[in-house]
Amino acid sequence: MDEKIERAFEALDEKKDTLEKNMSPAAYKIWKSNVLTTEQREAIKRLPWSSIGKEHTKIDYQKAQEMLNSQHHGMNETKTKILQLLAVRERTGKSGKGILLTGPAGTGKTTICEIIAEVLNEPFYKVPLQGTTAQWELLGSNPTWKAANQGYIADAIQRSGSFSAVICLDEVDKMEKNERSPQMALLSLFDSTNTAFIDQFLAIPLDVSNITFILTANDINEVNPILRDRLDVIHIQGYTKKEKYLILKNYIIPKLYSKYKVEKSEIVFYESAIKLICEACTEPGVRDVEKLADNIFRRAIYMLALGAQTISINAGFVKAELPTKLSAENREIGFRI
């Protein structure tokens, strides 16, 4: 037999053994039957079956606390709740209920998800849900449909490469609201009476009990109450002006020096500039603070490129970068004759 053909057969046998070993009996029974199409079989084979049964890394809670502190100022109650949930999950060996992180935009919900993944030593994958209009987008489409495919949940498992991944379902509150709300599709994912999740396209039960699902929402009132009841809800409060000041000074500005490879002798940030940035950005989170500081750094770097030796970032420098808001009184109106 040709060596290449022999290797191909060996690979097929190895894949078959992996599927048989890691699929549930119910899933493998469907897999062995003739009811699945070629497209379904190919999609099923692409799932990370070899990750099932992988041993979990023991959590270093001191390191986890340090990581949360390094990325987020304050929020002690939020951090404590996150660490408590991780401790419970480590003890039970199962991910349990999904987590809902809710709070204003720019309060670091996605960053918290990434830290949880790093603490668990598992891959992280984010699914943006803003604008999702139909349940099949999450649960997969009917295999008989033209261009049918798996849904966002199964796709996230495949792309993360693990049945123990941390999957962030981002902005669940911004999905379309209609009679068959996509939010309702998530109920089956967090139904404690279900032993497996079934994607309509794949048509086989998937064990997702080791996956940590984290949902994020800016407005908890836009999350269906039935769905909320099936989740561990963690509220993240907006930042005060003083907290924004400390975050900008101790977190954001040092990161920008590192990001743009700038020395502190080249760009000097004054207290007056930091205070003005915080006053100008009134949203509860720090996203606008970060954007404004980033724009200021870019402008300063351009000035360095033009030959300046040192750029002083003071209140006047910040004012020049603030968006101009023209009032009706000083807005000029032109006419073409």
Average pLDDT over residues 15-38: 81
Measured distance CA(167)–CA(125) in Å, rounded: 5
- pLDDT of res. 113: 93
Measured distance CA(266)–CA(300) in Å, rounded: 9
**Token pair belonging to 27:** 């899933």
Of the two residues 124 and 90, the one the predictor is more confident about is 124
* Residues 6+ away with beta carbon under 8 Å from 192: 97, 230
**Token pair belonging to 278:** 């915080």
Confidence bin at 15 (pLDDT 50/70/90): low
Burial class (CB in 10 A: 0-12, 13-18, 19+), 307: exposed
pLDDT in tens, 244-279: 899 999 989 999 999 999 999 999 999 999 999 998
Q: Give the N- to C-terminal CA distance of the chain in Å, as an integer.
A: 87
State the number of CA atoms in the 13 A half-sphere of 201 facing the CB. 25
Least confident of 3-7, 73-77, 177-181, 303-307: 3-7
- pLDDT of res. 30: 87
The DSSP bridge partners found for residue 98 are: 231
Measured distance CA(314)–CA(150) in Å, rounded: 53
Confidence bin at 160 (pLDDT 50/70/90): very high
Average pLDDT over residues 180-184: 84
Considering the entire predicted model, what is its pTM? Answer: 0.79
Average pLDDT over residues 298-311: 93
Name the phi and psi angles at 102, rounded to 5.
-125, 135
Whether residue 201 is predicted with pLDDT greater than 90 in this model: the reply is yes
Least confident of 5-19, 202-216, 230-244, 266-280: 5-19
Average pLDDT over residues 280-301: 91
CATH numbers and ranges of domains, the chain: 3-51 (no CATH), 61-235 (3.40.50.300), 241-321 (1.10.8.60)
Of the two residues 163 and 6, the one the predictor is more confident about is 163
The DSSP bridge partners found for residue 206 are: 197
Confidence bin at 9 (pLDDT 50/70/90): very low
Proportion of the chain above pLDDT 70, given as a percent: 89
Measured distance CA(107)–CA(102) in Å, rounded: 9
The answer to whether the beta carbons of residues 100 and 215 sit under 8 Å apart is yes
Average pLDDT over residues 88-105: 84
Output the 3-class SS for the chain: CCHHHHHHHHHHHHHHHHHHHHCCHHHHHHHHCCCCCHHHHHHHHCCCHHHCCCCCCCCCHHHHHHHHHHHCCCCHHHHHHHHHHHHHHHHHCCCCCEEEEECCCCCCHHHHHHHHHHHHCCCEEEEECCCCCCHHHHHCCCCCCCCCCCCHHHHHHHHHCCCCCEEEEECHHHCCCCCCCHHHHCCCCCCCCCCCEECCCCCCEECCCCCEEEEEECCHHHCCHHHHHCEEEEECCCCCHHHHHHHHHHHHHHHHHHHCCCCCCCEEECHHHHHHHHHHCCCCCCHHHHHHHHHHHHHHHHHHHCCCCCEEECHHHHHHHCCCCCCCCCCCCCCCC
Confidence bin at 327 (pLDDT 50/70/90): very low
Measured distance CA(82)–CA(90) in Å, rounded: 12
pLDDT in tens, 113-159: 999 999 989 999 999 999 898 899 999 998 888 888 999 999 999 99
Whether residue 290 is predicted with pLDDT greater than 70 in this model: the reply is yes
- pLDDT of res. 243: 86
Of the two residues 244 and 13, the one the predictor is more confident about is 244
